[in-house]
Amino acid sequence: MASRARRPAMPARPALWLLALAAAAGSAAAMAYRPRVQLDLENAAQGDIRFHAQAVCFYDSAGGQRTEISYAFPGDRLQLLGDSGSRRRGYSFAVIAFDRKGRQAAGEVDERTQAEAELDAAPDSGRTVHGTVSLPLGPGRYRLVMTCGDANSQRSGRLDMPLTVPGPVLPPAVSGVRFERAAGADTLPWPARRYGEIAEPLIAYFETYAGGDDGLAIRVSLWSLDDDKTAWEGLRQPVAGHRAGHRAVVAIDSVVSGAYELRVSLVRGDGSVADSAGRAMVIDNPRRLTDRDYQDRIDQLRYIARPRELDSLRRAPAARRDSLWRRFWQERDPTPGTERNEAMDEYYQKLAYVNRNFSIGIKPGWRSDRGQIYIRYGAPDEVERHPFDIDAQPHEIWYYYREGRKFVFTDTQGFGEYRLTYPRNERML
C-alpha cells in the first residue's frame, strides 16, 4: 500500500510480553515535556466512513516531541473500481490541529491506494484499513479535525477531537498508551479501544524515558471504572536503557466485561510511583458475564439466530455458556480454521455503530428500528434526511439499491426516536 505519510521512527524493536518487556536504549538528554495525552473514549467519526482515531505523544530518537494520530476503519467502506483483475481502492486521511485561537498549528495528509490483488497479502487481509500520521505540536490545547474520504465514491467521515499536550516535566516519565490488536504476526492500531469478540488479546504500546535511573520497574494494571478498584495487575518488569519501547499483551479471558482504564506506571524501588499514564477502554468478554449481561448478549443475537438457538443459549447453565457461544459463532464463520471470525467481527461492529448512533435515553440503539435494519442489512447505499419538512413529520429514507429495498423511518412523537413506518412487516421488536 502506497502512502504519502511516513511512520515516525520508533525505539528499536519493541518486544511483546505477557508482561515481560525488553527495552531499546536511546537518548534522554533533550526530553522536556510530559509525553502523555488524555482523550475521550467517544472517538468515532460521523458520516459514511466511521473511522476511529487515537492520539498519543512520544519522543523521537533525537529527543524531539511528536504526536501520533492512528486511525482504523472497516475496509468494506471503500469502493473498488476498475476492470476485473485490476480493481483498486484508495482514500485520503487528513488531520489539522487548531490552537485555542482557532489558528492552524499543524496538519498532515495520508493518501493511499491498493490493488485488490494485494489485499490477501496485507495484514488482516485488508479487512481493516489503518494508518498513522505524526504532527509536531508543542504544549497546549488543540482541536483536531480529521476527515477521511473514499477516492472512488462520495463516502466520507469526520471526527473532531480535543487534544491536550501537557507542559514541561523531566524524566523519569512514561508516554501515553496506543492501543493495538493482533493481525497474524502483525499488530495494527486499534483506536476503537474495545476488546473481546472483535479484538483479543489486549495489546498496548508505550514508551518509557528513565533518564538514567536504573532502579525503575514497569507496572501495568486495569482499573475498573464501574467498581472503582483495581481489577487486574501485571507483574513488574525492570526498565533498561534511557529510552525504551514496550508492547504489553494482556489476556482478557478472566476479566469481567466492563469499562476500564489501562494504567502504566513507573515504580521506584521503594514502591513509590515516579510517573504514570492511563487510558479508558472497554472489555466485552462473553466468558465472564453476569446473568443479566449474558441474557442481554443473547437478546442481541435475535436478528441472526434461529429460535431454537436462542432458547438453547438462554437456558444454558453457566458451565456450558462458553462452549455454546463459541459453537454458535463457529457455525457462521466464513473462514473456519483461521484465527478470526469475520461474521462475528462484522456483527459486533454493527452493534457498536447502532449503539453510538441510534440510542435514545436508556434504550440501546440495537433495540431501535433503525438499529434493527442496519444490523440486518448493513449501511444503506443512500440516506435521505427530512428533519424540517413543513408538510411532514421528521423522517429518513434509507435505500439499498442492490437489494431493491427502501425503508422509511419517522419521528412520530418528536423526541428523536425514528420508528419504521414503511414497510411495517420488517419490524421485529
Residue 44: φ, ψ to 5° = -110, 140
SS3 319: helix
**Distance set, CA 217 to CA 18, 22, 26, 307 (Å):** 15, 12, 17, 53
Residue 292 makes CB contacts below 8 A (sequence gap 6+) with: none
Q: What is the pTM of this model?
A: 0.67
Mean pLDDT, rounded, for 35-60: 70
Q: Of the given ranges (39-43, 60-64, 415-419), which has the lowest mean pLDDT?
A: 39-43
Give the whole-number percent of the chain exceeding pLDDT 70: 83
More confident site: 28 or 380: 380
Residue 127 makes CB contacts below 8 A (sequence gap 6+) with: 74, 75, 76, 342, 345
Q: Residue 171 has what pLDDT?
A: 84
Q: Is the peptide bond before 201 cis (omega within 30 degrees of 0)?
A: yes
Most confident of 111-120, 181-190, 305-314, 317-326: 305-314
**Distance set, CA 192 to CA 46, 107, 124, 180, 195 (Å):** 14, 22, 16, 9, 9
Q: Residue 20 has what pLDDT?
A: 34
Q: Residue 34 has what pLDDT?
A: 29
- Cβ–Cβ < 8 Å for 153, 35: no
Most confident of 108-117, 319-328, 331-340: 108-117
Q: What is the DSSP string of 351-384?
A: HHHHHHHH-BTTB-GGGSHHHHHHHHH-S-SEEE
Distance of CA 61 to the CA centre of its chain: 28
CA angle 269, 202, 367 (to 5 degrees): 135
Q: Please write the tens of the pLDDT for every residue from 198-222.
A: 677 899 999 998 877 778 999 999 9
Q: What is the mean pLDDT of the chain?
A: 82
- Cβ–Cβ < 8 Å for 150, 80: no
Q: Please write the tens of the pLDDT for every residue from 257-271.
A: 788 999 999 999 888
Q: Residue 290 has what pLDDT?
A: 67
